[in-house]
Amino acid sequence: MKQIKSLPELVCPAGTPSALRVAVDAGADVVYCGFRDKTNARNFPGLNFSRDEMADGIRYAHTHGAKTYIAINTFPQAGNVTLWKQAVDDAASFGADAVIVADIGLAAYTAKNHPHLRLHLSVQASASNEDAICYYCDAFNVKRVVLPRVLSIPEITALNSVIPCETEVFAFGGLCVMAEGRCNLSSYATGKSPNMNGVCSPASHVRYRQDKDGAMTSKLGEFTINRFAKEEAAGYPTLCKGRFRLNGEAGYIFEEPTSLDALSLLPDLLKSGVAALKIEGRQRGRAYIEAVVLAFRQALDAYAKGRPIKTDALINLAEGGQSTRRPAGRAGPAAEGEKRNRHLLPRHGHEQARGQCHARAGGGPDADDRGQ
């Protein structure tokens, strides 16, 4: 059977030092994590790393042959950029393998002050077309872009043929309806947003109420987000995943809670030329991290050896019991069960990326950078 020589990096979430060790031990090529403040988009209580923990975590990863990327992917506030610049400086001094930034000013600061620190563009920057990505590469020497979850595999393939940097795509975890980096729903309800404060629907604004009929009502700030019947599993009250009454009918008007699960799409995704697969979920516990990392490690290793991929390995970890997984035995993009999948699969009339990056025609990532 055909043996595949190079696989994309498996980039795994680590919300805590213990999750970092679990991810590395389970086979992550890379762990990504953030400092314990609003410089990263998972600024939840009990998560993230102190400076000492980050230095230790990087050491642990390096000792075990893995890399560490530090997400500094919120947007500095006017008159208060010191925290974000300090985070970049500290990431460089601790020996991080890359920083993942979203803000254009922070990208400029990193490129100017730490030219040897590998710079990745966060999904929060919403760079989803050739011109936008080329601009970041030209201006700041960005080596990798994390692509928004709105792109199909043909679009990713087309982009990979014309942009001068690597691409990283999400392969598992939560989905949200925003064009990444541009959601104000949480801010509307709580005053805190992913981009400015690093939190969506913060727990401090969440309330659950047990009703007399046994139903459960969940609230975010002043808003009722959902009402669950007695036996129904109650989800976290994220505004975009709320059930609301519209024209007399209650339903999920933004989206039904659904997880991204690209295990069944791995062969197509790998052929698209992506340099890395990213697992979402820095807010998740160790058991979840271990299960997901192990499943993807096994899937990638199986693919490399020409063996079948176990595509249903993570069926039980889907949010709301629903995922974008392609059912076993069904081939082709229109298979039942993919109806909710608005990304990765081919779309009619999608715009193919075309041409070459104008300023860097013929350019590309350094050979040594490919696959890092």
Q: Is 233 near ligand SF4 (CB under 6 A)? A: no
Task: Out of 176, 289, 313, 353, name the contact with ligand SF4 by CB under 6 A.
Answer: 176
Instruction: State which amino acid sits at residue 3.
Output: Q
Contacts of 336 (CB under 8 A, 6+ apart): 327, 330
Nearest residue to 91 (alpha-carbon basis) of 111, 70, 121: 70
At which residue do the structure tokens 């690209």 appear?
A: 262
Least Å from the CB of residue 199 to ligand SF4: 9
Residue 41 is a binding residue for ligand SF4 (CB under 6 A): no
Q: Is 220 in the site for ligand SF4 (CB under 6 A)?
A: no
200 binds ligand SF4 (CB under 6 A): yes
Question: Can residue 239 be called a binding residue for ligand SF4 (CB under 6 A)?
Answer: yes
Selected range binding ligand SF4 among 75-83, 98-106, 170-178, 315-323, rule: CB under 6 A = 170-178
Q: Is 333 exposed, middle or buried (0-12, 13-18, 19+ CB in 10 A)?
A: middle
Task: Note whether 341 binds ligand SF4 by CB under 6 A.
Answer: no
| DSSP 8-state symbol, 264 | G
List b or e across 261-298, with b for residues whose CB sees 16 or more CB atoms inside 10 angstroms.
bbbbbbebbbebebbbbbbbbbbbebebbbbbbbbbbb
Shortest spacing between CB 115 and ligand SF4, in angstroms: 33
- By CB under 6 A, tell whether 171 contacts ligand SF4: no
- Rule CB under 6 A: is residue 185 a binding residue for ligand SF4? yes
Please report whether residue 117 would count as binding ligand SF4 according to CB under 6 A.
Answer: no
Q: Is residue 186 near ligand SF4 by the rule CB under 6 A?
A: yes
Contact with ligand SF4 (CB under 6 A): which of 238, 258, 272, 323?
A: 238
76-110 in b/e form (b: 16+ CB < 10 A) is beeeeeeebbebbebbbebebbbbbbbbeebbebb
CB of 72 to ligand SF4, least distance (A): 18
Of 8-16, 93-101, 238-246, 359-367, which part binds ligand SF4 (CB under 6 A)?
Answer: 238-246
Q: Are 312 and 326 in contact (CB under 8 A)?
A: no
Binding of ligand SF4 by 240 (CB under 6 A): yes
Alpha-carbon distance of 171 to 258, in angstroms, equals 13
The residue among 223 and 303 lying less far from ligand SF4, judged by its C-beta, is: 223
**Candidates 17-25, 157-165, 234-242, 338-346; binding stretch for ligand SF4 (CB under 6 A):** 234-242
Within 13 Å and on the Cβ side, how many CA atoms surround 34?
28
- Whole-angstrom distance, CA of residue 59 vs CA of residue 304: 29
Q: Where do contacts with ligand SF4 occur on this chain (CB under 6 A)?
A: 176-178, 183, 185-186, 194, 200-201, 238-240
